[in-house]
Amino acid sequence: MSESNSAGMFSGRKSEGLVLVVDDEPDVRKVVRMTLEKSGYTVLEAEDGEKAIAEMKKDENSLLLSLIITDIRMPNMNGIDVINYYRKEWPSVPLIVLTGFPDMDMATSMLQHGIADYLVKPVEAEKLRSSVSKTLEKREVHGF
């Protein structure tokens, strides 16, 4: 399992895309990384929004970023704040919310705010992969 945290360092076979995973739980990040790396994605991790931005400012990560998968629990922010936070920084990078909240109202309101998908933990590996690949396909079609 690659522990590399910089997209510039991956080599060999071509990456399917650079995905940033934001969650305050290291094991959750590890699970997402493990799941996506098996499908050829390159995964970066960050503990919270601020660290995510710091991570992306390294090297040329920001240019390569294809997708953000994020939890919506963050200090001093509500769910919508979290979305707007990323929007401000990277207006064209799609967001997938991965949360423990099985809340329909929340999901609807988030999707209305333009997120690509709302996934509830525990999410099956296949479902996570297909959500990521669909989101990235759409992105190519729309030519972000």
Partner 1 sequence: MNNTDQTNIVILGAGKGGTALLDLFTRLPGVTVVGISDQNPAAPALEYAKRLNIPITQDPVQLIRHPGTHLIVNVTGDPDINEQVNTHKHPETEMLGGAASKVLWDLVQDESQMQAQLFQAEKLAGMGTFASGIAHDINNPLYILLAFSENILEETDLPTIHKQARSIIAAGKRIQSISQKITQYTRAAKVQDAVSINVNSTLDEALNIAQFATMLQDISIIRNYEDNLEVLANSEELFQVFVNLMTNAIHAMEGKGTLTVTSYHEDSFGKISIADTGSGIPDENLSKIFEPFFTTKPKGEGTGLGLHNARAIIKKYRGDLSVESTIRQGTTFVIELPYATSK
Q: Are 121 and 98 within 8 A, CB to CB?
A: yes
CB 28 → partner 1: shortest distance, Å? 6
CB 2 → partner 1: shortest distance, Å? 13
Site for partner 1 in 76-115 (CB under 8 A): 76-79, 99-103, 106
Amino acid at 24: D
Using the minimum distance from each CB to partner 1, give the nearer residue, 60 or 124: 124
Provide the sign of the torsion angle of the four alpha carbons 59, 78, 36, 66, taken in this order. Answer: negative
- Residue-wise burial string across 61-97, b where 16 or more C-beta atoms lie within 10 A, e elsewhere: bbebbbbbbbbbebeeeebeebbebbeebbeebbbbb
Using the minimum distance from each CB to partner 1, give the nearer residue, 35 or 42: 35
Residue 3 in the binding site for partner 1 (CB under 8 A): no
CB 124 → partner 1: shortest distance, Å? 8
Instruction: Out of 22, 72, 107, 132, name the contact with partner 1 by CB under 8 A.
Output: 72
* C-alpha span between 104 and 9 (Å, rounded): 40
Using the minimum distance from each CB to partner 1, give the nearer residue, 68 or 97: 97
Instruction: Out of 7, 31, 44, 96, name the contact with partner 1 by CB under 8 A.
Output: 31
CA 30 to centroid of chain Cα atoms: 13
